[in-house]
Amino acid sequence: MRFFRSLDPVHAMTFDLDDTLYDNHPVIRRLERDLRSWLIDAFPSLGQFTDDHWRGLKRQALQSNERCRNDVTIARETQLSYAFASIGIIGESQTQAIQDTMHQVTLLRNRVQIPEETHSTLKAITAKLPLVAITNGNVDLERIGLQGYFSHTLKAGPDGDAKPSADMFLRATELLNIPASSILHVGDHLVSDVLGAKAAGFQAAWFNDTAKGIESQTKTKVMPDVEINRIEQLLHFI
């Protein structure tokens, strides 16, 4: 743990989810692999699509409107609409195809393994402080077994623009009824989490479980208040 500033007393914490409380990279890799297999079984014409084709459709979706850039669920639904339209599935058939596919996405997206240290740490913190989850993703906390630790869950799209926008941070201060300067936000991303939190007046803990220090991070725009390398180090603040 490295301190870059002196912290004020912490009266609440907000948490990023993906790659902070669990390793999300293998989850997304399996999701994309298994979803592709399911899509080809259900809609054989999609078998002609390469990885580059899917990436191109994703870029097209993200460029299409602001909602896609702030809501990963809407972005995927839009990507799927382009894919289905290109193989002649339109209208009500397309609506049903997207619905069926997104059901599979939900199942695959929530195959998350939560480390025991995450459970034990959150259990200890929530006994002392209120916690709010703030995520740009669409994981279901109830499905992955983390819902009980958080008084509220804020998701980009339904609850405001994606981090580093201040929207969800400001909403968290309203829900907690605690000054932003007394809230410690914990996250792995130096822009979405650290820059976003500091710009909203929060204190920021950067979760860094890599061997690279902040000096080598090209995305650093604002220094965090503290760097942690293990989630259980947060017990220092309760």
Helix and strand numbers, DSSP H then E, in the chain: 9, 7
Alpha helices, H only, the chain: 25-42, 51-64, 66-70, 72-86, 91-109, 116-126, 141-144, 167-176, 196-199
Going by their DSSP bridges, the two strands 183-187 and 12-15 should be labelled as: parallel
Count of alpha carbons within 13 Å of 54, Cβ hemisphere only? 15
Residues with Cβ within 8 Å of residue 33, at least 6 apart in sequence: none
Size (the chain), residues: 238
The residues facing 133 across adjacent strands are 15, 153
Say whether 16 is catalytic.
yes
Single-letter code of the amino acid located at 116: E
Q: Which of 8, 16, 100, 188 is catalytic?
A: 16
> 87 phi and psi, to 5 degrees?
-110, 15
Alpha helices, H only, 135-195: 141-144, 167-176
Q: What is the CA radius of gyration of the chain?
A: 19
Catalytically active residues, by annotation = 16
